[in-house]
């Protein structure tokens, strides 16, 4: 398929807000692609060049794209800048200039040709790479029709934003067949590469996929229950383990080439140099291949206690890693295992996975296997919960003893219980919200350019408003949040946002920054597009370990509401 044909689909998708209509358009597009095109096409329509975990980035700012546009259409940069200020969208600017110039295109580029050129631009590095990126982008724009230019311009700066996610792509690939959709979702959880899966589906080769060293698995997550009796009723015999306030880390190791790769809970790749403790990882496991699910926890050796999340997260700094590792030594609490020597443990009962951990992990100061108590007595869960709270931990995680490793929050496999004594009158759990925008503020806060933030949560592919938050934002944090949001500013409301007219912030932000919020209660609200709001919300912290895809969902919020 020629890219200009894809651009017609992209324009229709951009103009469409209905989830059903978007799914229908995508299904039609996929039907008209051949197997050699569909993988790259899926990446492109999501504004990517690879699955997210491969971290292929363009490193191209708006200024560089402006230079490329000016060069492509023989215009002054000042004119391109002026048009950008007027339109707020470099895609529209480049399309307008391309339409005015009327460049004679000798050959229409195919989808794969455009993809290859974009990948070459993204992978260009080293001396003078900025100039080469500019030249290559300019040359690509010259060989595209105006409509194609609109969308290709947006991809390198991460502003394609058609308002749908991998979930909608899965729905479109399944074409309304619930069984196929379930099969795709299960495989996606093990291999979160929707482009690769689309190719398998096109070739009728989709079958059960196993975990693979170097490819992250969508993590199993905790549901919420504060009644231990209800836990036993829903889960039967359980394993009760401590809940640590650390950084969830997946460790992938292969001995034959000393391969070590680290992923966060939202499947972001982390440079293993951030964790120098793991450089001799092979010494601590009796396996040639292994994938471990762990929690990296900072240790205060002087006071013999665990550090909180904010201290532990400092280890993700890119600079002074060795110095920071000395100040914040880490211990990796091992609580699950997904693969050992080519054998997938995903469908194995938890107690069997636990036995495998104990047989292959050398339990010591670096890798510490979590304590685990098997019980079907609600009182035992309560006692352990308060025991771990007194130790400075976050209470307990309760796991179905015969449960498989099921990604996401399904089937009551893992449950967290975070309610503390003396918490009456407050929600039993915090909420991870997406910052949708901010209000400039009045009085003293006007000097920071930010008074309150507007936050929301996910409802399918939509992000709906939940509350405005100002309480808890210290002066230091106001500066930090404003700095983060400056990079995420959007002149227009992002397509996936839904907000009532009286809740329009002074500045919109693209969905990226996640913050943790507490509140006294959840209440029904006609003011917010979610239909719910928070009573006395308080800002707690930025969730450095979470992306927008990891924010609280409406379904989860309703769970918290039930516990209120």
Per-residue pLDDT tens, the chain, 564 aa: give them. Answer: 999 999 999 999 999 988 899 999 999 999 999 999 999 999 999 999 999 889 888 889 899 999 999 999 999 999 999 999 998 899 999 999 998 876 667 678 999 999 999 999 999 988 999 999 999 999 999 999 999 999 999 999 988 878 888 999 999 999 889 999 999 999 999 999 999 999 999 999 988 789 999 999 999 999 888 789 999 999 999 999 999 988 899 999 999 999 999 998 888 888 888 889 998 999 999 999 999 999 999 876 554 556 655 555 555 554 455 555 556 788 999 999 999 999 999 999 999 999 999 999 999 989 999 999 999 999 999 999 999 999 888 899 999 999 999 998 888 899 988 655 444 445 667 899 999 999 987 777 778 889 999 999 999 888 999 999 999 998 899 999 999 999 898 888 898 899 988 889 999 999 999 999 988 888 888 888 888 899 889 999 999 878 888 889 998 888 888 766
Distance, in Å, from the CA atom of 334 to the CA atom of 360, rounded to the nearest integer, reads 11
Cα 411 from Cα 236, distance rounded (Å): 12
Judge if pTM exceeds 0.85.
no
Amino acid 318: pLDDT: 47
223-417, what's its fold?
D-amino Acid Aminotransferase; Chain A, domain 1 (3.30.470)
Contact 6, 38 (CB under 8 A): no
Task: Name the residue with tokens 């309150």.
Answer: 452
| Catalytically active residues, by annotation | 243
Q: Where in the chain is the domain with CATH 3.30.470.30?
A: 223-417
**Is residue 132 classed as helix, strand or coil in its secondary structure?**
helix
H or E element at residue 242: strand 238-242
CB 537 within 8 A of CB 518: yes
User: What architecture is domain 3-157?
Assistant: Orthogonal Bundle (1.10)
In the chain, CATH 1.10.3260.10 sits at 3-157
Q: Residue 497 pairs with which residues in a beta bridge?
A: 463
CA pair distance 489, 437, nearest whole angstrom: 8
Q: How far apart are CA 163 and CA 25, in angstroms?
A: 13
Phi (first) and psi of residue 483, to 5 degrees: -60, -45
- The residues with which 544 forms a beta bridge, in sequence order, are none
Phi, psi (5° rounding) for residue 407? -60, 150
Q: Where in the chain is the domain with CATH 2.40.50.140?
A: 431-562
Backbone CA torsion sign across 509, 510, 512, 517: positive
> What 3-state class would DSSP assign to 512?
coil
CATH no. of 431-562: 2.40.50.140
User: What is the rounded CA–CA span in Å between residue 374 and residue 238?
Assistant: 6
Residue of 89, 67, 77 whose CA lies nearest to 159: 89
* 540-551 residues labelled b (16+ CB within 10 A) or e (exposed): bebbebbbbbbb
Cα separation, 53 vs 11, whole angstroms:
28
What does the CA dihedral 266, 530, 224, 191 come to, rounded to 10 degrees?
A: -30
| Residues contacting residue 326 through CB under 8 Å, at least 6 positions apart | none
Euclidean distance between CA atoms 452 and 85, whole angstroms: 26
């Amino acid at each position: 398929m020629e890219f200009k044909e894809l651009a017609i689909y992209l324009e229709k998708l951009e103009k469409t807000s209905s989830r059903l209509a978007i799914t229908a358009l995508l299904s039609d597009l996929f039907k008209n692609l051949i197997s050699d095109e569909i993988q790259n096409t899926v990446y492109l329509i999501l504004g990517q060049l690879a699955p997210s975990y491969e971290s292929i980035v363009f490193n191209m700012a708006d200024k560089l794209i402006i230079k490329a546009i000016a060069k492509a259409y023989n215009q002054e940069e000042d004119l391109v800048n002026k048009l950008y200020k007027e339109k707020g969208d470099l895609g529209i600017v480049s399309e307008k200039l391309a339409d005015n110039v009327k460049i004679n295109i000798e050959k229409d580029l195919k989808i794969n040709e455009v993809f290859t050129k974009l990948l070459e631009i993204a992978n260009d590095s080293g001396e003078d790479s900025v100039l080469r990126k500019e030249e290559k982008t300019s040359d690509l724009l010259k060989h595209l029709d105006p409509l194609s230019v609109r969308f290709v311009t947006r991809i390198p700066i991460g502003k394609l934003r058609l308002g749908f996610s991998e979930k909608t792509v899965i729905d479109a690939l399944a074409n309304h067949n619930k069984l196929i959709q379930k099969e795709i979702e299960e495989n996606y959880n093990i291999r979160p590469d929707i482009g690769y899966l689309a190719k398998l589906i096109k070739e009728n080769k989709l079958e059960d996929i196993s975990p693979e060293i170097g490819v992250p698995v969508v993590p199993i997550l905790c549901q919420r229950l504060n009644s231990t009796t209800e836990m036993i009723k829903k889960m039967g015999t359980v394993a009760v383990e401590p809940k640590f306030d650390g950084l969830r880390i997946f460790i992938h190791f292969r001995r034959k080439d000393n391969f070590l790769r680290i992923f966060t809970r939202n499947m972001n790749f982390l440079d293993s140099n951030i964790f120098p403790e793991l450089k001799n990882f092979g010494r601590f496991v009796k396996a040639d291949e292994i994938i471990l699910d762990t929690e990296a926890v900072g240790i205060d050796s002087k006071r013999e206690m665990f550090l909180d999340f904010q201290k532990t997260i400092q280890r993700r700094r890119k600079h002074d890693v060795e110095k920071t590792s000395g100040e914040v030594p880490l211990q990796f609490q091992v609580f699950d295992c997904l693969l050992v020597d080519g054998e997938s443990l995903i469908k194995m009962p938890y107690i069997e996975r636990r036995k495998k951990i104990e047989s292959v992990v050398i339990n010591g100061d670096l890798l510490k296997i979590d304590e685990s108590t098997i019980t079907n007595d609600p009182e035992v869960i309560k006692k352990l919960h308060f025991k771990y709270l007194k130790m400075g931990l976050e209470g307990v995680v309760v796991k179905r003893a015969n449960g498989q490793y099921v990604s996401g929050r399904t089937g009551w496999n893992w449950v967290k219980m975070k309610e503390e004594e003396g918490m009456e009158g407050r929600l039993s759990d915090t909420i991870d919200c997406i910052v949708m925008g901010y209000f400039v503020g009045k009085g003293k806060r006007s000097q920071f350019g930010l008074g309150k933030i507007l936050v929301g949560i996910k409802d399918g592919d939509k992000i709906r408003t939940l509350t405005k938050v100002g309480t808890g934002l210290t002066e230091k944090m106001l500066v930090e949040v404003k700095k983060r949001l400056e990079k995420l500013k959007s002149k227009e409301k992002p397509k996936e946002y839904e907000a009532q007219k009286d809740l329009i912030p002074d500045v919109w932000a693209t969905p990226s920054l996640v913050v943790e919020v507490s509140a006294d209660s959840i209440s029904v609200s006609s003011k917010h597009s979610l239909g719910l709001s928070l009573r006395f919300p308080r800002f707690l912290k930025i969730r450095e370990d979470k992306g927008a895809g990891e924010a609280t969902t409406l379904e989860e919020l309703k769970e918290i509401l039930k516990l209120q």
